[in-house]
Amino acid sequence: MPDFDLIGDYMASDAARALRGDVRAFLDEETASGRVRPGRQTWTTYDRAFSERCGARGYIGMVWPRAVGGGARHAFERYLVTEELLAGGAPLGAHWIADRQSGPQI
């Protein structure tokens, strides 16, 4: 069972605020440029180019080991990025299942 005090400590940290700010700025840029139109069905909306840009920023495969191309980041960081992408209505359908479920099983 997770230590919720630890989760709370992480979510209130400067590192979490910086990561959250980075994701929000990315989404603001994507929306302002017209490349992304926020929607409600974020996990079923397919946008390969958006997923490629997420990957370039290290937002895909965050918790996977570096040996297989991942970021070796903490699950809390992945949670935070996913939370912001979903809240922003980002189109995640091109990578959602692979990043969250399939990839970790390989």
pLDDT tens, 22-74?
Answer: 999 999 999 999 998 888 777 778 889 999 999 999 999 998 889 988 899 88
Q: State the residue for tokens 């959602």.
A: 96
- Across the chain, mean pLDDT equals 85
Q: Rounded CA gap, 88 and 86, in Å? A: 5
Q: What per-residue confidence (pLDDT) applies to 1?
A: 39
Query: What is the rounded end-to-end Cα distance, in angstroms, of the chain?
Result: 24
pTM: predicted TM-score of the whole model, two decimal places: 0.83
- Specify the 3-state DSSP secondary structure of 44: coil
Is residue 81 pLDDT above 90, yes or no?
yes
Q: Based on the number of CB atoms within 10 Å of its own CB, is 53 exposed (0-12), middle (13-18) or buried (19 or more)? A: middle
73/6: higher pLDDT: 73
In sequence order, which residues have a C-beta less than 8 Å from that of residue 73 and are 6 or more positions away? 58, 62, 63
